[in-house]
């Protein structure tokens, strides 16, 4: 695992941030590479061919393209990665105390994504979604940022805070959605659609961001699309379900890359439908920030609440309802239960666990602070171009 990964491995140096780290760290590199599939197959799937013409049709009607098979293959491989064991809870208090002491000594701020393990969230200075945490990273007074999340998030923090040291406790913390497109594939896609505006979801590598005109989060994706003149052709990547939802709410045709997150793709419409039958009074909250712009959105219908992590927490706090169906990675349950005590949160799929988010354990976080591992570096030229797309995203948010 990452302990054997040289610290010099640069998350984005190869242009495949998380994948490059994981390739050497978690083993199944060759499988993962081949799972990405030949660009041509994925390209044809993503282009506005017959599958895209049926974008308003049921998801199954869009799944005949060959790129879908590649995406599913990657998802299956990612889903097969075992979840890191949780460790002994009896050791948590001492480890957390050690981590807090080290953070003070090393002038470090600890940021944790809402999908991290509860014990990691509990020791962090700030918990939230990737955009929220990146903004904190840019303004925090500490000289070191330890990002308990996945590689593209740490990269984003580094791009927005180039003068700070950014550490990722486990370099194998990747993202199947970010891995759905390489920078080479994006360049080829752009060549096939000259003049198109490229809008990338934030779950992408630094190199892909650098080839993009805009980044977006789930929270502002609609506003970003609306900000682009209607006569411009838009390439949207990498989450196909977010792209399809955007087509629906903006009334525009997009050319969509067929990527997906294995965790959210695993939350099936049948899961949502079953829980809606079993808990008819519950409110359905869908969190699209981390690729949860999956088929569940279409299955849920227009009365589902599509919310960012922070929006979901705020909504649960203010809502008069006492039961909520949660369609996203289950790590968020810890935060929801903390912020809205006394309310009931039911995951529509308890198996929606991101193995990458669970790689950061308390011992790894302690070691990250102790040994300064693993520093995230983004080549200056890539960072400069990626920053433009990110700053447009932040300006529109
Ligand atoms: S939940 Fe999905 S989108 Fe989020 S980090 Fe994990 S693999 Fe990536």
The domain locations on the chain are 264-347
Higher pLDDT, 281 or 69: 281
Give the residue among 334, 385, 381, 362 at the shortest CA–CA distance from 146: 362
Q: Give the contacts of 48 (CB within 8 A, at least 6 positions apart).
A: 253, 255
The mean per-residue pLDDT over the stretch 257-269 comes to: 85
Residue 35 confidence (pLDDT):
29
Q: What is the pLDDT of residue 101?
A: 98
Closest CA to 11 of 346, 376, 302, 373: 376
Residue 274 clears pLDDT 80, i.e. is over it? yes
More confident residue, 40 or 239: 239
- CA 296 to ligand 1 centroid distance, Å: 16
Q: 203 CA to middle of ligand 1, Å?
A: 8
Task: Identify the three-state secondary structure at position 382.
Answer: helix
Residues paired with 324 in a beta bridge:
283, 345
C-alpha 92 to ligand 1 mean position (Å): 25
Q: How far is the CA of 174 from the centre of ligand 1 (A)?
A: 8
Which of 57-61, 185-189, 190-194, 341-345 is predicted with the least confidence, judged by mean pLDDT? 57-61
What whole-number distance in Å separates Cα of residue 176 and Cα of residue 22? 11
Q: Are the CB atoms for 206 and 19 separated by under 8 Å? A: no
Pairing label, strands 197-201, 214-216: parallel
Q: What angle do CA 117, 120, 126 make, to 5 degrees?
A: 115
CATH number attached to the domain at 264-347:
3.40.50.10800
Nearest CA to ligand 1 atom 8: 175
| Contact status, residue 9 vs residue 16, Cβ threshold 8 Å | no
Distance 252 CA to ligand 1 centre (A): 27
Q: What average pLDDT score do residues 184-203 get?
A: 97
From 354, 359, 360, the mutation candidate for ligand 1 (largest count of ligand atoms within 8 A of CB) is 354
Check residue 25 and give its pLDDT: 26
Residues in the chain: 397
Tell me which residue has its CA closest to atom 4 in ligand 1.
290
Q: Residue 8 CA to chain centroid, in angstroms?
A: 24
Q: Which residues line ligand 1 (CB under 6 A)?
A: 150, 175-177, 203, 261-264, 290-291, 329, 354, 356-357
The per-residue pLDDT for 228 is: 96
pTM of the model: 0.80
């Amino acid at each position: 695992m990452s302990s054997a990964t040289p610290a010099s491995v640069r998350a984005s140096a190869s242009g495949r941030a998380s994948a490059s780290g994981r390739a050497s760290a978690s083993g199944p590199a060759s499988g993962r590479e081949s799972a990405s599939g030949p660009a041509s197959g994925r390209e044809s799937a993503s282009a506005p061919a017959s599958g895209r013409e049926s974008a308003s049709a049921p998801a199954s009607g869009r799944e005949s393209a060959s790129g879908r098979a590649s995406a599913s293959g990657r998802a299956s491989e990612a889903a097969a990665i075992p979840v890191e064991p949780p460790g002994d809870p009896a050791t948590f208090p001492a480890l957390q105390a050690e981590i807090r002491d080290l953070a003070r000594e090393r002038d470090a701020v600890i940021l944790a994504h809402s999908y991290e393990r509860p014990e990691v969230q509990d020791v962090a200075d700030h918990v939230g979604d990737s955009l929220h945490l990146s903004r904190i990273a840019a303004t925090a007074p500490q000289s070191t940022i330890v990002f308990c999340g996945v590689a593209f998030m740490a990269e984003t923090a580094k791009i927005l805070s180039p003068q700070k040291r950014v550490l990722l406790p486990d370099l194998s913390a990747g993202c199947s959605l970010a891995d759905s497109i390489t920078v080479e594939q994006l360049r080829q896609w752009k060549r096939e659609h000259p003049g198109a505006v490229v809008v990338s979801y934030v779950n992408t590598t630094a190199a892909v961001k650098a080839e993009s005109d805009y980044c977006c989060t789930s929270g502002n994706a609609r506003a970003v699309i609306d900000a682009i003149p209607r006569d411009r052709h838009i390439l949207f990547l990498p989450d196909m379900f977010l792209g399809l939802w955007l087509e629906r709410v903006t009334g525009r045709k997009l050319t969509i890359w067929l990527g997906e997150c294995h965790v959210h793709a695993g939350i099936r419409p049948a899961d949502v439908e079953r829980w809606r039958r079993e808990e008819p009074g519950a409110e359905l909250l869908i969190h699209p920030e981390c690729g949860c712009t999956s088929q569940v959105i279409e299955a849920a219908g227009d009365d589902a609440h599509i919310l960012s992590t922070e929006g979901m927490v705020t909504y649960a706090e203010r809502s008069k309802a006492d039961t909520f169906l949660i369609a996203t990675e289950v790590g968020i349950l810890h935060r929801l239960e903390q912020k809205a005590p006394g309310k009931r949160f039911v995951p529509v799929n308890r198996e929606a666990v991101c193995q990458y988010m669970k790689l950061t354990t308390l011992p790894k976080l302690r070691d990250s602070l102790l040994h300064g591992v693993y520093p995230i570096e983004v080549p200056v030229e890539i960072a400069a171009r990626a920053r433009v797309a990110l700053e447009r995203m932040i300006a529109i948010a």
